[in-house]
Amino acid sequence: MTAASGAARLPSGPLILASASQTRQRLLEQAGFAFETCVASIDEVSIRHSCAAEGIAAGDVAVILAEMKGRAAAAKVAASPGTLLLAADQILEIDGEMLGKPADRAGAVAQLARLQGRPHRLLTAAVMFRDGERIWHHLAEAGLTMRSLDQGEIDSYLDLLGEAALWSPGSYQIEGLGMHLFSRIEGCHYGILGLPLLEITAFLRGHGLTLSTGTR
């Protein structure tokens, strides 16, 4: 378990982020939250396929994955009483099919070729635990339309992005080069980046963490 570094911090109680995502860590840091990270792996692909076979809706699958990540992380840490643990996950849905992170460059090429010129949904789930029990969750939905891309544009984009193309469903990151891929984006910007930060901040504020008092 590692501590996040940064400048200004709100004096918060124990908070753990169950994610290795640098973007999610950066979002919390920029919002001023002090937290530690703990990552536990789950078999996302198998879980997603099982859920799809059972006809579970994409948004519910995102919540299930986030919850399973949170429970796995909670089992790894000896947290003090009252510790809050935040886990999150994203599912991309197009034509009723769920897409996760690509396994390799070929997978990224295939995802971008399928998404180009068409709209899709991005569903971001956040789940909060306290003392190992789930106490809150939120699901953010965004609609994105990728502009038409030819194979040369897809290859150039992936050449520039490198390994980071494998970090997100859809093989894009709108906070960087991915912005060049889209013609329309609707929904919560923070949710698209990986954390519905407005709702998370409201939850933490409801538990006593505020800018005015800086206390819990």
CA-closest candidate to residue 92, choices 163, 197, 184, 194: 194
Active-site residue, selected from the candidate residues 43, 60, 89, 95: 89
Give the torsion sign (CA, 109, 114, 117, 120): negative
89 is catalytic: yes
Q: Which value, in Å, is the radius of gyration of the alpha carbons in the chain? A: 18
Q: What is the helix (H) or strand (E) element at residue 201, kind and residue range?
A: helix 197-206
Bridging pattern class, strands 84-94 and 119-130:
antiparallel
Cα-to-chain-centroid distance, residue 168: 8
Distance CA 74, CA 84 (A): 10
Q: 3-state class of 188 per DSSP?
A: coil
CA-closest candidate to residue 184, choices 129, 118, 108: 118
Active site residues per annotation: 89
